[in-house]
Amino acid sequence: MTERTYGTYAYRPPQKGEKRGTWQLTLEPAVAVRAKRVFSRARSALRGVVELTDTIEVARDLTWLMERWPLDPADYESSAHLAEQADAHTERERTLASIARGDYARLPLPVEPARTPREYQLAAVDVLRTSKRLLLTDELGLGKTFTGLLGLTHVDALPAVIVTPTHLPSRWVTELNESFPTLTFEVAKKTKVSTAFEHGQRPDVLIVPYSRLSGWEHHIVGWPRTVVFDEVQELRRGASTQKGSASMHLSEAAEYTLGLTATPVYNYGDEVWELFNIISPATLGTRDEFLREWGGWSYGTHAGVSDPAALGSYLREQGLMLGRTRDEVGLELPQTIKVPHEVEADATALDKVKGDAAAMARLILSTSSTREERFRAAGELDWKLREATGIAKAPYVAEFCRLILEAEDKLVLFGWHRAVYDLWLDALKAYNPVMYTGTETPKQKDAAADRFVNGDSRILIMSLRSGAGVDGLQKATNIAVFGELDWSPQVHEQGIGRLRRDGMGAAPPVAYFLHSKDGSDPALMETLQVKRNQAEPIVSPDGRLLTNSTQDINRSRALAELILGTARG
């Protein structure tokens, strides 16, 4: 008796300009409906016809679909290609499991770097080459830069593009010179493509800051085989931004894509979808599908994940995310000593914004105001109240730093507002403070860091969001003072991570969080834990909160409620 079939499947190889081939399924109506549910990104312009992009995941799912609804191949080539792709997916699962167990027979590196790699770094390269799309979330200080370059020693991984924050190309240049001297490289100095690159003088590795990527996009999409996104949390707002869109196009056309960050989620769990929509599109479905299956609650335009630990576990099982702690790899460092410390605040500075703040708070909480009015008021309230709080605390923060420097040689002081920096610079001028904020050029930042580490400066004033990726400060101090707070606990962790890394002294890092009972600080201190509960279980191997972390917040609405509550009191 001939087996009943429900349609046909045909494979079409990639055409000119295409990276992947296409599957075309011609199905009976009932089966077509089911197939479109299974394959959420299927193209279905014609009734009863479903078109799918060819990937090994699609092939595996297609064979699964055919267990219930057998289909006839259009030709032998289609049948052979389906079997090959499905087998490749099965083999990938076996390989990933073997790497996780530690019994994978690793091939030697074609080119040995000048510095000997560690076993866990080589394992990360194996995972990347197996899954081809990877978010590497190793703990701060475990050498993600070196790991990213290790993958480029394989002949099929070059050429490569490394996309970095504006202040970090020099770190990659240093690593290339010291550990991979055989690789040629170019740093994108301007948004406009260099004459040499445009005329075919192309290096092994091109380093492009996120801020210049859009200018290079049309010249490099399809050129690199490997794309590395350093501090990939820069893309957490997704492909709707200019740098996000350029990054997506670059990633889609590459053979390997690697995202590097110890802190992928700064705020809420939906940022994970934004990152993977660039690193590995379709992995987590559409945004609506992701929120329907993984989401738990929403806050404005953001959404939380109902079970962050389960999401992290799924991504690790699929070989799409890998993160090791220092304990796991045997490179333990002392845990950070975290000291919340209440300081006074000058009421005069807060009184100056009290009237405006109350008016903006009412607007934010009003049901009759427009979305645009609430958005504008939220931004203004956040800036004004946090700045006023920073100004109000500034003399007391400076005095605290003076007391610390009676016993310590140097410290890093974290803040956010220029007006606050100016007060600190004046109050602490006897300690020759230097600046590493959003105002300085990369060259000026490097000079400031060098003077702090090797020179006469005893205080480095660093912007809260300038700390990602900076190395070397651990040689000068183990003391961090947060004179202003950030909305994201992961920003605090990035700052602490500048001091808690290889090369630090024997003493544990100490982080002081100076907060006031007035201004914006109560709202910040109260709600930081919400974001911590979203971010940490995703990257934590056991799904628990990490032990080396701070607390978190809920933003303008919390400020508005705080202000009006205070006003009514």
Q: Which of 567, 554, 568 is nearest to 378 (CA)?
A: 554
Quick count: other Cβ atoms within 10 Å of Cβ 137?
A: 25
Residue with tokens 């990933």: 96
What pLDDT, in 10s, does the model give residues 422-461?
Answer: 999 999 999 999 999 988 888 888 899 999 999 999 999 9
With 0-12 / 13-18 / 19 or more C-beta atoms within 10 angstroms meaning exposed / middle / buried, residue 414 is: buried
Amino acid at 549: S
- Cα–Cα distance, 450 to 430 (Å, whole number): 19
Phi, psi of 275 (to 5 degrees): -65, -45
- Cα–Cα distance, 156 to 20 (Å, whole number): 18
Amino acid at 127: V
- Helix (H) and strand (E) counts in the chain: 20, 19
- Helix orientation angle between 521-539 and 489-497, rounded to the nearest 10 degrees: 70
Q: Which residue has the higher pLDDT, 347 or 221?
A: 221
What pLDDT, in 10s, does the model give residues 417-429?
Answer: 999 999 999 999 9
Per-residue pLDDT averaged across 536-562, rounded? 51
Where does the pLDDT of residue 45 fall: very low under 50, low under 70, confident under 90, or very high at 90 and above? low
Where does the pLDDT of residue 226 fall: very low under 50, low under 70, confident under 90, or very high at 90 and above? very high
- Cα–Cα distance, 89 to 55 (Å, whole number): 9
Instruction: Name the DSSP letter for residue 135.
Output: E
- pLDDT of 246: 94
Q: Which of 485, 435, 439, 442 is nearest to 464 (CA)?
A: 485
- Cα–Cα distance, 250 to 247 (Å, whole number): 5
Where does the pLDDT of residue 300 fall: very low under 50, low under 70, confident under 90, or very high at 90 and above? low
Judged by average pLDDT, the poorest of 105-119, 286-300, 465-479 is: 286-300
- pLDDT of 549: 40
Tell me the β-bridge partners of 299. 302
Domains of the chain as residue ranges with CATH: 7-94 (3.30.780), 111-329 (3.40.50.10810), 337-568 (3.40.50.300)
- Cα–Cα distance, 269 to 538 (Å, whole number): 8
- Cα–Cα distance, 480 to 413 (Å, whole number): 6
Query: 318 in helix, strand or coil?
Result: coil
Give the pair of three-digit tokens for residue 452.
């702090």
What pLDDT, in 10s, does the model give residues 130-145?
Answer: 999 999 999 877 889 9
Judged by average pLDDT, the poorest of 158-162, 486-490, 546-550 is: 546-550
Contact by Cβ (8 Å): 140, 499? no
pTM: 0.71
Where does the pLDDT of residue 387 fall: very low under 50, low under 70, confident under 90, or very high at 90 and above? confident
DSSP 386-415: HHHHHHHHHHHHHHHHHHHTTT-S-EEEEE
Q: Which residue has the higher pLDDT, 485 or 357?
A: 485
- pLDDT of 532: 54
Most confident of 83-92, 279-288, 323-332, 343-352: 83-92
Contact by Cβ (8 Å): 227, 205? no
Q: Which residue has the higher pLDDT, 226 or 349?
A: 226
Where does the pLDDT of residue 551 fall: very low under 50, low under 70, confident under 90, or very high at 90 and above? very low
Task: Provide the phi-psi class of 19: left if phi over 0, else alpha when psi is between -120 and 50, else beta.
Answer: alpha
Most confident of 330-334, 387-391, 548-552: 387-391
Per-residue pLDDT averaged across 502-516, rounded? 82
- pLDDT of 538: 66
Where does the pLDDT of residue 332 fall: very low under 50, low under 70, confident under 90, or very high at 90 and above? confident
pLDDT > 70 in the chain, percent: 83
- pLDDT of 194: 92
- pLDDT of 367: 66
Where does the pLDDT of residue 560 fall: very low under 50, low under 70, confident under 90, or very high at 90 and above? low
Q: Which of 50, 60, 117 is nearest to 84 (CA)?
A: 60
Q: Which residue has the higher pLDDT, 162 or 500?
A: 162
- Cα–Cα distance, 447 to 29 (Å, whole number): 68
Phi, psi of 524 (to 5 degrees): -65, -50
- pLDDT of 554: 40
Residue 76, CB half-sphere, CA atoms under 13 Å: how many?
Answer: 0
